A and B are shown apart, each in its own frame.
Chain A
Amino acid sequence: MSDAAHDKIEQELRRGAVVLAALSQLREPQYGYSLRQALAAKGMPIEEGTLYPLLRRLEAQGLLASEWRIEEGPPRRYYRLSEEGERLFGVLTASWRDLNAVMDRLLQQ
């Protein structure tokens, strides 16, 4: 199997985690760039071309709420979890922990 195929499988593995990672940082309002920096600082770098459209899709699904703000510098669109997003974040967190425990057991065998 080629390196490209390996990369694709690894990307698929990470894809599911990206949504949960983004939701985890949006309990406080963040705009796209600050969210990317926050995730990268905690060891979860996500490509800008993936993260920014994802925020819009999550908002369209009702999981995020957003608003434009002008504070320092240019106007920025801030995102935070909606009520539905908070509920889903709780569900996904529980699922992730269960899955993580299972995977740990499987990988130790």
Chain B
Amino acid sequence: MRTTAIAGLALLGLAISAYLTWVHYAGIEPVCTGISDCERVQGSEYAELVGIPVALLGVAGYAALLGSLWVRVELTALLSYFALAFSAYLTWAELFRIDAICQWCVVSALTTLAIAVLATLRALGAPLHHRPLS
């Protein structure tokens, strides 16, 4: 059940990151709600880390999370903590450095939070069931 939920959330994250990666390379503006300013976030220097768009890092991260579901519960947990820590950093940058928020990033940050919680519960619960994929 938790595995399915993590897989679903990881797919959601993957879809968002893939969309933002496409937007980044196509040089177009992401679809954005009224209160957010995606263009500013996407165009900021925080949109890349050592030349790699963070959206592309998101694609890699969510794909790795998805793949880890077939490996060890601890690996999924570790990857989810990486994702959560990185999301926390990006959210901090949005709020305190860029002074703009993008709703895609908020959804992605909440997704990583949910995945981290579920991955923790899954790791704690897993030995009781001995099921690699439930």
Same complex = no
Interface residues of B (CB under 8 A from A): none
Interface residues of A (CB under 8 A from B): none
